[in-house]
Amino acid sequence: MSKAVSVLNGARFSGLAEVADAGLVGMITLRGDLESSAVAAAVQSTTGCAIPAVRKTVEASGNSVSWMSPDELLIVTAYDQVADLCAKLQEALTQEHALVVNVSDARSCFTLSGNGAREVLGKVAPVDFAADQFQPGDFRRSRLAQVAGAFWLDQGGAFHIVCFRSVGEYVFNLLKTAADPDAGVGVYS
Amino acid sequence: MLILTCPYCGATAEETELQAGGEAHLKRFGPGSSDEEFHDYLFVRENPKGVHFERWRHTNGCGKWFHAARCTTSLEVFGTYPAQTTEPPQDIQDKISKKRPGWSWREFSCASAKDAS
Ligand SMILES: [Zn+2]
């Protein structure tokens, strides 16, 4: 089997904030009725996470579960655990009208951390990143300049950014440009 | 800049996150309808100066289709509501009646105007 690599194979950039290709990340799309107790039980028992509230991310046991839409969750886990987790979810959801798909290789993940992180992301997404408006555990799907993307802020203050792999290089270069050391605005500092 | 609150994810989405989906509450005329009805269904649209009802999609967001009631002259947004309905919710119609007495749009109109006629 060929060796899996992430879109930019761990590329990093340090400027107003630290931008990094997060490497291989396991990602699962779960579509189904998020109000259903069977779905909640399946997610809880396999990931350790509760169903997140609207536009929130729940982190537990090294996994995270994010609210993508009223009928969709994004489950993030370790890359080498993803097939196993998919199988467990599918097994737990056999009686439910639900869909579980491994999307790890269809998407790319980046992290954005450091003091300038809010400003850097604020330059490319039409979202208010003021500290009282976008807090740890908040999740949002929006656009990153010209492409669709999703991001959440973890409890440690780092943003996790997800986009389609086909535009991964675009997003990395976009964040790199926005984080140029000479491009500081100071809007959230 | 037009800002609409998505009724599904609650995000205050600005125009660049959204995709316009044309007029709201169209009733389909398909097989069995007259040529005139089918023609109107395909081509005839409201183009009001004032109160208007539209479909929008939160494309760069939760991806859901929803409805918006707004004013085409002032860009004031009266409200947004889910797509699973064939008419504007009463609370939004009432809100519009307060702000734009005498409004009408297709078969919908200001409550007090209906009483008077
Ligand atoms: Zn939405």
Question: Which one, of A62, A97, A60, lies nearest residue A80 by Cα?
Answer: A62
Residue A91's pLDDT is: 97
What is d(CA B65, CA A152) in angstroms, rounded to the nearest whole number? 23
Q: What is the mean pLDDT of chain A?
A: 97
Domain A25-104 has CATH 3.30.70.1520: yes
Yes or no, beta carbons of A143 and B8 under 8 Å apart: no
Question: Which one, of B93, B114, B3, B15, lies nearest residue B51 by Cα?
Answer: B93
Residue B103's pLDDT is: 96
A33-42's contacts with Cβ under 8 Å and 24+ in sequence apart are: A33/A71, A33/A96, A33/A97, A33/A98, A34/A67, A34/A70, A34/A71, A34/A73, A36/A96, A38/A93, A38/A95, A38/A96, A39/A93, A39/A96, A39/A98, A41/A92, A42/A89, A42/A92, A42/A93, A42/A96, A42/A98
| Fold of the CATH domain B3-25+48-106 | Folate-binding fold (3.30.2270)
Q: What is the 3-state secondary structure (H, E, C) of B39-107?
A: HHHHHCCCCCCCEEEEEEECCCCCCCEEEEEEECCCCCEEEEEECCCCCCCHHHHHHHHHHCCCCEECC
Shortest alpha-carbon distance between residue A142 and chain B (Å): 5
What is the identity of the amino acid at A69?
S
Positions of CATH 3.30.70.1520 in chain A:
25-104
Most A CBs within 10 Å, among B5, B60, B84, to test the A interface: B60
The answer to whether residue A1 scores a pLDDT higher than 80 is no
Residue B114's pLDDT is: 56
Positions of CATH 3.30.1360.120 in chain A:
12-22+106-179
Residue B111's pLDDT is: 80
Residue B8's pLDDT is: 97
- Kindly give the distance from the C-alpha atom of residue A138 to the centroid of ligand 1, in angstroms, as a whole number: 14
- Kindly give the distance from the C-alpha atom of residue A55 to the centroid of ligand 1, in angstroms, as a whole number: 9
On whether ipTM exceeds 0.90, the answer is yes
The answer to whether residue A189 scores a pLDDT higher than 90 is no
- Residue A82's pLDDT band, with cuts at 50, 70 and 90, is very high
What is d(CA B44, CA B36) in angstroms, rounded to the nearest whole number? 10
Q: What is the mean pLDDT of each run of 10 residues along chain B (117 residues)?
A: 96 96 95 96 96 98 98 96 96 96 94 60
- DSSP summary character for residue B6: -
Helix (H) or strand (E) holding A60: strand A57-60
User: How many other CB atoms are there within 10 angstroms of residue B71's CB atom?
Assistant: 18
Residue A136's pLDDT is: 98
Shortest alpha-carbon distance between residue A141 and chain B (Å): 4
CB contacts of A126 in chain B (<8 Å) are: 13-14, 16-17
Nearest CA in chain B to A140: B61
Residue A17's pLDDT is: 98
Residue B115's pLDDT is: 56
Residue B1's pLDDT is: 83
- Kindly give the distance from the C-alpha atom of residue B82 to the centroid of ligand 1, in angstroms, as a whole number: 10
Yes or no, beta carbons of B9 and A126 under 8 Å apart: no
- Residues A126-147 pLDDT 10s: 999 999 999 999 999 999 999 9
CATH of domain A12-22+106-179: 3.30.1360.120
Yes or no, beta carbons of B11 and A70 under 8 Å apart: no
Yes or no, beta carbons of A141 and B14 under 8 Å apart: no
- Residues A109-120 pLDDT 10s: 999 999 999 999
Sign of dihedral through CA atoms A36, B79, A56, A19?
A: positive
- Residue A56's pLDDT band, with cuts at 50, 70 and 90, is very high
